[in-house]
Amino acid sequence: MSGYRFRLSCLAGLLGVMLGAPLAPAAAPDPNDPWPGLVQDIFNNRAMNDGADIIGIEMPYRAEDAAIVPVTLRSKLPPGDSRRVLRITLVIDQNPAPLAAKFELGPDANVSEISTRVRINNYTDVHAVAELSDGKLYMAKTYVKASGGCSAPAAKTADDARSRLGQMRYRQFARPGQGPASGAREAQIMIGHPSNSGLQMDQVTQLYTPAFFIDRLQIWQDDSPVLAMEGGISISEDPNIRFTYVSNGAKRFRAEARDTEGHIFRNEWKIDDSSM
Amino acid sequence: MACRVWLMTALALLGAPTFVWAQQQALPVDEIAPGVFVHSGKTALMTRENAGAIANIGFIIGESAVAVIDTGGSVREGQQLLAAIRARTDRPIRYVINTHGHPDHMFGNIAFVQDGTSFVGHRNLPRALTTRGPFYIEAFRRIMGGELIDDVRMVPPTILVDGITTLDLGSRTLTLRAWPAAHTDNDLTVLDEQTRILFAGDLVFLSHTPVLDGSLRGWLDVIDELATLPAQRVVPGHGVVSEWPAALADQRRYLQTLASDVRALIASGKSITAAAGAAAAAERSRWQLFDDFHARNATAAFSEIEWE
């Protein structure tokens, strides 16, 4: 039996070699650049405008930990610009599932900055595409080197990741120089979830573990939407989203998350203005 | 062995260059105690030039059998370790023990696959190899090149350790212990009862910046437990063979500083990005490869401690 198993895993390894042709590190004029194909698949080939003055994307130049790479998206629209950011799509070109996340920005929440954490499998371009109320797409990109050493885009303690399933935490941060009068707030929502990619074959059963991740997260102040995220397997385990917004005077913060097995996780918190 | 025959046949069918299991030079090893041999890895990242030989690996010879403890960072290093064993004994290699699933400790496994040899690992090791193996092979093919990496296979353990297990090499007992998540979630130590030499794998680092790929809080707890083991000397995963338990002191200080700094950064509302630059900066001058590993340790520590 163990010999048989061995043979199967050898075969699986070989299939991997045959199917997964080694990818060259991404470079700008590379004919293997996946971006044109991604524009077609994700954005239906809509025109991409230069987003340098519209949207900022910040990531470390090197993915220190392949499983937890911080990314910050920032609106660069100047005050007084009549346009509004409707949604931001985050694309990690060389990941197995390049569409990492799609953020919908609440119409009245004035979200100007979103930080989360993603997995990075390879040397890759990372694109942020903002859709504005003028109906156009604006793109900015950065480049991230894959992590070295034994870092991998997988859970470090798979048991812990399961044991936190569905736990939600909310935190407010004091923004320096922004008192309660400005209404500007910074908050964070964390959700315990293993975010399994489903890309790994179990060596014993030879079956792929099913993907298991948060695919939708919605956040409201009272009943007014602040931010919603559609996520995929490129979002790190225990999804964590930190963002700025403008308070509408609400007293409650609410979050609801759904995962691919249909679990719904809900929580709400009283907004504490005393620390602002 | 069936697997090897199958592999070679399949590779030939694919038109891949047939690899030659050539007679390799013996890996340099020191006999640090009677029957206990260690190759001291270079404190470096795995590269094409060093063929991945960066971890301390070794073997123990009993009256009837040999146990290998970790197999190195490439098939070549594994073959050279095999040659070093064969230069000293013709007793059968009954066990190949992997202290955890990192590439520098187990990429040489395939060199030891043959009938009569059992692979031994933590009960979580198969899962780690499943989730990480294909990624590791791809990542290190980029870094080290196909010649060193194409033949690597994630050979999983056939004997799983949960708690404590002993292996008998013939008038020589090895005590294996599987630990809760610490350096990784599949750390295993090997104590040679006869010489009181402890092979700690990467639960112990000296000089080489400790690498956090499991649980920071778990590791600190495990360090306290490890210190009670009745060992005289330790073969750390990286760094020189040292007295026990004094060898734990530097690493304990580093991990404690990391934990307390990260805790303070989280309390003050700093971002995970800021933490990577600020935490435990005072430790920088005390470790090698700090810039290669410390920022990721701080990142991992942050994402763990923020759930406290």
Write the pLDDT tens digit of every residue in B271-303: 999 998 899 999 999 999 999 999 999 999 999
pLDDT value at residue A274? 56
CA-CA distance, B184 to A19, in Å (whole number)? 30
Q: Say what the pLDDT of residue A222 is.
A: 95
Instruction: Classify B52 in phi/psi space as left (phi over 0), alpha (psi -120 to 50) or beta.
Output: left
Residue of chain B whose alpha carbon sits nearest to that of A25: B142
Peptide bond into A29 cis (omega under 30): no
Residue A126: strand pairing partners: A92, A142
Interior angle at CA A96, CA A67 and CA A229, nearest 5: 70
Residue B73 has a pLDDT of 98
Please state the pTM of the whole predicted model.
0.89
Task: Give yes or no for A72 touching B (CB within 8 A).
Answer: yes
Q: What is the 3-state secondary structure (H, E, C) of B87-134?
A: CCCCCCEEEEECCCCCHHHHCCHHHHCCCCCEEEEECCHHHHHHHHHH
Residue B36 has pLDDT above 60, yes or no: yes
How many contiguous H segments (helices) and E segments (strands) does chain B have? 9, 13
Q: Is the dihedral of CA B120, B123, B128, B130 positive or negative?
A: positive
B261-B257-B239 Cα angle (round to 5): 140
Q: Which of residues 9-68 of A touch B (CB under 8 A)?
A: 9-11, 13-14, 16-18, 20, 22, 25, 60, 64-68
Q: Do B150 and A2 touch (CB under 8 A)?
A: no
Q: Nearest CA of chain A to the CA of B194: how many Å? A: 32
3-state secondary structure of B252: helix
With CB atoms and an 8 Å threshold, state whether B299 touches A13: no
Chain A CB within 8 Å of residue B277 CB: no
Strand segments (E) across A174-223: 184-191, 214-221
CA–CA separation, A118 vs A101, rounded Å?
A: 9
Helix (H, G, I), strand (E, B) or coil at A116: strand
Using a CB-CB distance cutoff of 8 angstroms, which residues of chain B are in contact with residue A115? 271
Residue among B143, B158, B152 at smallest CA distance from B94 = B158
The two structure tokens encoding residue A206: 């030879």
Give the right CATH number for B20-247 from 3.40.50.2300, 1.10.357.10, 3.60.15.10, 3.40.50.10740: 3.60.15.10
Q: Name chain A contacts of B10, Cβ cutoff 8 Å.
A: 10-11, 14
Contacting B residues, span 220-239, partner chain A, CB-CB under 8 Å: none
By the 8 A CB rule, do A103 and A130 touch?
A: no
List average pLDDT for each run of 10 residues in chain A, which is 276 residues long.
36 39 51 93 97 97 94 95 97 95 96 96 96 98 90 82 89 72 87 83 66 94 97 94 94 95 95 62
Domains in chain A, CATH or no CATH each? 33-270 (2.60.40.2470)
Cβ of residue A124 closer than 8 Å to a chain B Cβ: no
The reply to whether A242 touches chain B by the CB within 8 Å rule is yes
Q: Do A156 and B213 touch (CB under 8 A)?
A: yes
For tokens 């990467």, what's the residue?
B202
Q: Using an 8 Å CB-CB cutoff, list chain B residues near A20.
A: 134, 138
Predicted confidence at residue B6, as pLDDT, reads: 42
User: CB–CB of A13 and B272 under 8 A?
Assistant: no
Contact state of A10 with B292 under an 8 Å Cβ cutoff: no
Contacts of A144 in chain B (CB under 8 A): none
Residue A209's pLDDT is: 72
Chain A positions touching B213 (Cβ under 8 A) are: 150-151, 156
Give the list of residues 6+ apart from residue B171 with CB closer than 8 angstroms, or none. B62, B63, B64
More confident residue, A105 or B2: A105
**Would the CB atoms of A149 and B129 count as touching at under 8 Å?**
no
Average pLDDT over residues B267-272: 96
Residue B13 has what pLDDT?
39
How many other CB atoms are there within 10 angstroms of residue B291's CB atom? 10
Q: Measure the CA–CA gap between B94 and B65, rounded to whole angstroms.
A: 6
Give the model's pLDDT for residue B21.
52
Q: B153 — alpha (psi -120 to 50), left (phi > 0) or beta? A: beta
pLDDT in tens, B68-98: 999 999 999 999 999 999 999 999 999 999 9
What ipTM was predicted for this assembly?
Answer: 0.88
**Is residue A88 a contact partner of residue A128, using CB atoms and an 8 Å limit?**
yes
- Tell me the per-residue pLDDT of A51-81, one tens digit each, with 9 for 90 and over: 999 999 999 999 999 999 999 999 999 989 9
Token duo for residue A109 = 């929440």
Q: What average pLDDT does range B38-64 have in this prediction?
A: 97
The helix, strand and coil proportions of chain B, stated in percent and rounded to the nearest 5, come to 40, 20, 40
What pLDDT does A14 receive?
A: 38
User: Which residues 136-195 on chain A approach chain B with CB closer than 8 angstroms?
Assistant: 146-160, 164, 167, 169, 173-174, 190, 192
Q: How many CB atoms lie within 10 A of CB B86?
A: 14
Average predicted confidence (pLDDT) for chain B: 93
List the beta bridge partners of residue B82.
Answer: none
| Chain B residue with the nearest C-alpha to that of A11 | B7
